[in-house]
């Protein structure tokens, strides 16, 4: 709200489709907003936020301009997949564990007198220990970041599969392609590089997963 303007999504086909999808999934939709993301860039997105029985869905105006109603509903279905599968809670727990590991490691490290002695220091000042820890922590940070990316990518695949099972496979495919083009993202990077650095799977991997016949859409 401080940097963007949030307006209620106007009445129309898109609003009806999203509300119908939310009702179908028993999603406690309280507000449905469109945000003026276009004043900053052409980047498109949609997301879900809120607590308990008061949830909101936010759609970028750029997404509305770039995609069809069916594609937007498919993308919202992906976002609702994150909610349905408790991905937000899992991510929050993972972040808290990461913070715990950082502080625990720092607690073990900061009082190690031999490290200070190797730099000609007789005392163990906490500030200097923090500076040393920032450098020595890098390998552990790389491992934790990789683990975080693995979890995030897993969640993205699961959310895509959820939207597909809702019956939006074709619309999700075309919507993701449009978003990738408009957001000017790399569509097929090196697999090893993307596995280590990307929190979201590359487009080609996501499309291949959506096309997986083992993930069958619902017939009802």
HEC profile of the chain = CCCCCEEECCCCHHHHHHHHHHHHCCCCEEEEEEECHHHCCCCCCEEEEEECCEEEEEEEHHHHHHCCHHHHHHHHHHHHHHHHCCHHHHHHHHHHHHHHHHHHHHHHHHCCHHHHHHCCCCCCCHHHHHHHHHHHCHHHHHHHHHHHHHHHHHHHHHHHHHHHHHHHHHHHHHHHHHHHHHCCCCCCCCHHHHHHHCCCCCHHHHHHHHCCCCCCCCCC
Interaxial angle between packed helices 69-84 and 87-110, expressed in degrees from 0 to 180 and rounded to the nearest 10: 50
The mean pLDDT of 128-156, rounded to a whole number, is 87
The mean pLDDT of 113-135, rounded to a whole number, is 81
What local confidence, expressed as pLDDT, does residue 102 receive? 86
What local confidence, expressed as pLDDT, does residue 117 receive? 81
pLDDT of 95 higher than 80: yes
What local confidence, expressed as pLDDT, does residue 61 receive? 87
**Range with the poorest average pLDDT among 8-17, 125-134, 140-149:** 125-134
pTM reported for the whole predicted model: 0.80
In whole numbers, what is the pLDDT of the chain averaged over residues? 85
What local confidence, expressed as pLDDT, does residue 220 receive? 44
What local confidence, expressed as pLDDT, does residue 35 receive? 86
What local confidence, expressed as pLDDT, does residue 216 receive? 53
Alpha-carbon gap, residue 180 to 196, rounded angstroms: 20
Q: Which residues contact residue 48 at a Cβ distance below 8 angstroms, ignoring those fewer than 6 apart?
A: 55, 56, 57, 58, 79, 80, 82, 83
Q: Which of 61, 156, 158, 160 is catalytic?
A: 160
Higher-confidence position of 187 and 201: 201
Percentage of residues in the chain having pLDDT higher than 70: 93
Q: Which of 61, 71, 79, 156 is catalytic?
A: 79
Establish whether 70 is a catalytic residue. Answer: no
Establish whether 7 is a catalytic residue. Answer: no
């Amino acid at each position: 709200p401080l940097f963007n303007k949030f307006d209620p999504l106007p009445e129309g086909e898109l609003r009806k489709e999203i509300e119908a999808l939310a009702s179908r999934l028993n999603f406690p939709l309280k507000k449905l907003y469109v945000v003026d993301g276009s004043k900053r860039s052409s980047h498109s997105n949609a997301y879900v936020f809120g607590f308990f029985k008061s949830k909101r869905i936010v759609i970028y105006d750029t997404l509305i301009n770039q995609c069809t109603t069916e594609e937007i509903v498919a993308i919202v279905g992906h976002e609702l997949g994150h909610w349905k599968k408790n991905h937000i809670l899992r991510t929050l727990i993972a972040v808290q564990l990461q913070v715990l590991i950082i502080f625990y490691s720092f607690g073990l490290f900061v009082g190690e007198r031999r490290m200070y002695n190797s730099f000609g220091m007789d005392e163990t000042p906490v500030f200097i220990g923090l500076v040393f820890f920032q450098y020595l922590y890098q390998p552990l940070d790389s491992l934790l970041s990789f683990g975080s990316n693995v979890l995030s990518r897993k969640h993205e695949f699961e959310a895509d599969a959820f939207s597909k099972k809702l019956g939006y496979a074709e619309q999700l495919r075309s919507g993701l392609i449009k978003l990738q083009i408009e957001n000017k993202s790399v569509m097929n990077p090196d697999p090893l590089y993307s596995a280590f650095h990307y929190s979201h799977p590359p487009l080609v991997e996501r499309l291949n997963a959506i096309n997986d016949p083992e993930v069958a859409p619902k017939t009802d």
